């Protein structure tokens, strides 16, 4: 399949490419995702497939493996990908250039509210560590550049917890846990494949969090702390219902993607939103309420003009001023 290198301003002419035939008429876009080792990768593949099947003559989306949600934000800014998932809190910090983002990223636009996903804070059963405070000084796998890594590092900082971080990738973290070279790790995703992989090889603890701990997080890093209840039996390590750290995952897009194209992407996913309920990582996510999620969890990066137009025309809502992009004002 012919690929197009995009540079400079993202225009319809560049996106459409050159050459004859039906394939040349398709808009070729790259949808960034995560590592293939993450259960969240399947979510993007499923959504891209929905869009491609709904628009066979108009859109050709290719899913691209990336280092994670934080990387997606910078890739969108540099147009290495055109859209991709990210933490709503991190996207807002990037958009504004606050906390750990040094400069604003004004090209970001939101597609939908997305879903809520937990971050499981894991320790080996052999370590005997069952509380967050027990992580002080412990060898702990850290995945730099990932959203969950960013959030966990901020969370532990807000609580004054100082593990002995060992920097590595997601797949290496699984191996390090199995070999015992680290005693703890974290992993985002509801019934995540990496956690299931760990439990097939060893016994682990999944440490619950408390509301007071989340309050401390929000006191230091506003808008970054969220709770989620995970059900009993989700993993072997969670025989009872417990509280987990959580964050909202949304998909973001470069503002220069044509509005009619974004309209088609959002419409395709919206029309097939119930199909996403079969995905384990979206099971508790209310993705079928993708617009309502943006309102309920105070999404702070404005919608793309194509998305805002779709919601107003289809749902009969008035998109709040804070979510209306500058292009529509």
| Most distant pair of Cα atoms in the chain: their distance | 64
| Residues paired with 60 in a beta bridge | 28
What average pLDDT does the segment 145-161 reach? 91
What global pTM score does this model have? 0.74
Work out the pLDDT band at 187, boundaries 50, 70, 90: very high
Give residue 196's region: left, alpha or beta (phi > 0; psi -120 to 50). Answer: alpha
What average pLDDT does the segment 102-118 reach? 91
Rounded to the nearest integer, the mean pLDDT of the chain is: 87
| Residues paired with 122 in a beta bridge | 185, 206
pLDDT of residue 193: 86
The closest alpha carbon to 301, from 17, 76, 2, 31, belongs to: 76
pLDDT of residue 39: 65
What average pLDDT does the segment 128-144 reach? 96
Q: How far apart are CA 284 and CA 278, in angstroms?
A: 10
Q: In the chain, pLDDT over 90 holds for what percent of residues?
A: 62
Q: Which of these ranges, 41-45, 198-202, 249-253, has the smallest mean pLDDT?
A: 41-45
Residue 290 has pLDDT above 90, yes or no: no
Q: How far apart are CA 74 and CA 70, in angstroms?
A: 7
Residue 6 has pLDDT above 60, yes or no: no
Burial class (CB in 10 A: 0-12, 13-18, 19+), 253: buried
Burial class (CB in 10 A: 0-12, 13-18, 19+), 201: exposed
pLDDT of residue 17: 40
For the chain, which domains are there? 12-116+248-328 (3.40.190.10), 117-247 (3.40.190.10)
Alpha helices by DSSP H, listed for 208-258, are 211-220
Note the pLDDT tens digit of each residue in 202-256. 999 999 999 999 999 989 987 788 888 999 999 999 999 999 998 888 899 999 9
pLDDT of residue 217: 94
């Amino acid at each position: 399949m012919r690929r197009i290198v995009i540079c400079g301003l993202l225009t319809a002419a560049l996106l459409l490419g050159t050459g004859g035939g039906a394939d040349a008429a398709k808009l070729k876009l790259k949808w960034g995702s995560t590592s293939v080792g993450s259960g969240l990768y399947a979510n993007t593949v499923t959504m891209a497939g929905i869009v491609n099947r709904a628009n066979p003559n108009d859109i050709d989306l290719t899913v691209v493996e990336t280092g994670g949600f934080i990387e997606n934000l910078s890739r969108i800014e540099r147009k290495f990908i055109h859209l991709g998932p990210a933490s709503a809190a991190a996207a807002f910090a990037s958009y504004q250039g606050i906390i750990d983002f040094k400069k604003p990223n004004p090209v970001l636009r939101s597609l939908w509210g997305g879903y809520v996903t937990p971050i499981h804070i894991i320790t080996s059963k052999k370590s005997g560590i069952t509380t967050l405070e027990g992580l002080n000084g412990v060898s702990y796998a850290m995945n730099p550049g990932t959203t969950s890594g960013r959030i966990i590092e901020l969370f532990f900082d807000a609580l004054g917890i100082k593990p002995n971080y060992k920097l590595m990738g997601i797949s290496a973290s699984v191996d390090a846990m199995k070999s015992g070279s680290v005693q703890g790790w974290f992993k985002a995703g509801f019934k995540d494949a990496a956690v299931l992989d760990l439990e097939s090889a060893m016994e682990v603890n999944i440490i619950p969090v408390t509301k007071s701990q989340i309050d401390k997080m929000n006191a230091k890093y506003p808008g970054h702390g969220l709770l989620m209840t995970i059900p009993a039996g989700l993993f072997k390590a969670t025989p009872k219902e417990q509280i987990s750290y959580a964050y909202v995952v949304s998909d973001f897009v470069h503002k220069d993607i044509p509005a009619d194209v974004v309209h088609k992407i959002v419409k395709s996913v919206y029309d097939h939103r119930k199909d996403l309920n079969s995905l384990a990582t979206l099971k508790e996510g209310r993705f079928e309420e993708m617009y309502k999620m943006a309102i309920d969890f105070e999404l702070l990066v404005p919608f793309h003009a194509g998305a805002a137009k779709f919601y107003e025309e289809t749902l009969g809502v008035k998109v709040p001023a804070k979510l209306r992009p500058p292009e529509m004002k």
